[in-house]
Amino acid sequence: MPPYPPLAIASSSNLLLISSGPSLIIYEPSTHQTTVYTPDTKSPSLIRHSAISSDGTVAATISDDKSLLVYSISTNSITLRSSRQVMKKSSSLSFSPKGDLIISDKVGDVYLYPLDPRSTSSINTDPPDTSVQSKLTKTLNDSVQSISTNTTSTSNQTSHSNYSNEKESKRKLNKMTLNSDPTLNPDADFLLGHVSILTSHVLSMDGKHIITSDRDEHIRISRYPQSFVIERFLFGSESFVSALCIPPRRPEILLSAGGEGVMRVWGWETGRLIGNIELYEGILPCRKVRAGMRRDARASKRMKMSSSTKSSSNRKGQDDEESSFNLPDLDLTQKGGENNAEEGKSNESKDVEKEEEFYVAPEGWRLPSGQGVCIKKIQVIQIESQDVVVFFSEGCAGLHSFVLAQDLTHATVNTFKTDFPVLDFTQIPGEEGRLVVSVDTAWGSLKRNRLPDEKVGPVGEVDEEMLQILGKVLMVVEVSSGGQISALPNHPILTILSSALSGLSPADPKTLASLDLYPDLSLYPRWPGMEEDDDQAGQTDSAVSEAGESVVSMKGKLPNEWTREELEKLNVKQLGRLKAQGVDTGDLIYKKKKALKSLGTRAEQLKRGL
């Protein structure tokens, strides 16, 4: 049976850390020895995030079930040091300069966890015992009964004492319980919070600043550990930011990327945008995995309204409407494409059809905005005198790189295409320019892009050749000083790690087919017409949206350079962002909110038949 695909790979100066399902593998390049840790649990959970200390003595992982595990590592040994639960699903994990754990979650908060859990004598992270609660309830009832039946001053004093003791017991119980309020989490210190999904964090090289990014295009520079002090924001991103990186030899700059077509290079200490690196040309041809679809409730409502209108019209008009309704432009394009394929259409037409798969949804369904790009990881590799930036996009079968030169105007992105989507990568300790890469070998055979209502069917018998392919979840590549990437299929580390992986708990083909390895493709992009704040965002039709996005990107404009005509094209949310940046929006926000309210009132009246 094949192993679980490694979702998280990390390395220190002397060790390589690889996760496979719920298990860990430690590889020491100097001795070529591997050490395996497998948890003793009947319901294993996939490890999503991992980190290892710079000296390679401590490692930490976070799993799908929100378990935070800390391990002690020594020669040929890895032992579980502690286990606890985090509050929410995590998006990023790293070590602080003092060896504590920094964890950002997908609710929008960042915590500082001590390496070892705090004393259980004052903290209890388990849910409160119902027997304790029943005792407290009984105490309260006894107190009330005592107050109602005893009228003497002594009885009153006793009942008051009982009530005070009960209240104090409740206060202590609430303090000991893991609290959903981030500022009251007893096992961690709350550092900072965003009002959007937090996607990534990184510490400055001197450890004095923490940089965070979120789904709403924000990059925030805060002091560390006094993270309530915000020094600045980096404005200009036009989509979510999902990956951050500070080059070790150039600590004054920041690399950021996400769902847009460029990687931005910032002078984060001053807030200046140094340059952009174009990405789409290399990434778009490598896309394999499409974001999941959501049912379009508005389209369903329009279908019902159209059906009602047709039933009240004459038959001829009904037939005309039905023909135009059942054959929209999208379906005509798709059906025409299928007919052309049957007639032997050109390869160019096939490429167009493949491209449309990532941004054209079937009728009644929706895909998120964007081009299906989500930069998952950025890492700077030092090769001779050059700094080479290596990165990949979630769900893409390719690894990309470029040389980080002083002059970025002529930067060229190199693309190394893989047979399967890339899951993670890291540098092999002690080997300059060589990376170990994990891939999803089940894609294309056991897994594929499915239609919204299509469920994973039964997995047939897997032959020996397929099992060998499924087992090759790791590969080694070499990056040159010029940024070119080439494969090293005979690297000895592959044999060693494959042997270690084969000894872990295997994953049967049905499990591999059902694993969700690309959640961020659907989580981070915007869903037009389906967001909670759409009522504040104004119109969502494509024309207005495209105009707004093109205008809201600052393009180097100063706050006083915006014209009234440009501002009138924006919706309430976009105007609010510009106002926060110092742009005078006048009374436009008030007027647009009033207009939206009037439209809502009128729609309600029509619904009631008034």
In this structure, the answer to whether residues 48 and 84 fall within a common structural domain is yes
Domain count, the chain: 3
In this structure, the answer to whether residues 500 and 430 fall within a common structural domain is yes
Query: Does residue 101 belong to any structural domain of this protein?
Result: yes
Close Cβ partners of 293 (under 8 Å, ≥ 6 residues apart): 361, 362, 365, 366, 367, 452
Cα separation of 444 and 470, whole Å? 11
- Regarding predicted confidence, which is higher, 219 or 610? 219
pLDDT tens-digit map of 63-98: 999 999 999 999 889 999 999 999 899 999 999 999
Domain boundary among 366, 381, 405: 366
Cα separation of 295 and 451, whole Å? 12
Rounded (10°) angle between helices 588-608 and 572-580: 160
Write down the residue that tokens 């018998």 correspond to.
Answer: 461
| Element at 467 (helix H, strand E) | helix 464-471
In this structure, the answer to whether residues 474 and 351 fall within a common structural domain is no
> Whole domain around residue 314: which residue ranges?
294-366
Grouping H, G, I as helix, E, B as strand and the rest as coil, residue 568 is helix
Domain boundary among 326, 351, 366: 366
List the Cα angle 345/349/355 in 5-degree steps.
145
| Element at 134 (helix H, strand E) | helix 130-149
Q: Which of 272, 271, 241, 246 is nearest to 257 (CA)?
A: 241
Query: Does residue 277 belong to any structural domain of this protein?
Result: yes
**What order do you get walking across the sheet with 23-28 strand by strand?**
9-11, 16-20, 23-28, 33-37
Cα separation of 524 and 213, whole Å? 12
Query: Does residue 2 belong to any structural domain of this protein?
Result: no
Cα separation of 475 and 85, whole Å? 33
In this structure, the answer to whether residues 346 and 380 fall within a common structural domain is no
In this structure, the answer to whether residues 507 and 556 fall within a common structural domain is no
In this structure, the answer to whether residues 78 and 197 fall within a common structural domain is yes
pTM of structure:
0.75
Query: What percentage of residues in the chain have a pLDDT greater than 70?
Result: 71
Query: Does residue 140 belong to any structural domain of this protein?
Result: no
Q: How confident is the model at residue 343 (pLDDT cuts 50, 70, 90)?
A: very low
In this structure, the answer to whether residues 225 and 298 fall within a common structural domain is no
Q: What is the DSSP letter of 52?
A: E
pLDDT at 156 over 70: no
pLDDT at 298 over 80: no
In this structure, the answer to whether residues 195 and 46 fall within a common structural domain is yes
Q: Which of 435, 500, 506, 431 is nearest to 76 (CA)?
A: 500
Query: Does residue 341 belong to any structural domain of this protein?
Result: yes
pLDDT tens-digit map of 205-223: 999 999 999 999 999 999 9
In this structure, the answer to whether residues 376 and 480 fall within a common structural domain is yes
Check which CATH number belongs to the domain holding 509 and give it. Answer: 2.130.10.10
In this structure, the answer to whether residues 496 and 583 fall within a common structural domain is no
Close Cβ partners of 448 (under 8 Å, ≥ 6 residues apart): none
In this structure, the answer to whether residues 199 and 65 fall within a common structural domain is yes
Query: Does residue 430 belong to any structural domain of this protein?
Result: yes
Query: Does residue 433 belong to any structural domain of this protein?
Result: yes
Cα separation of 578 and 420, whole Å? 42
Query: Does residue 526 belong to any structural domain of this protein?
Result: no
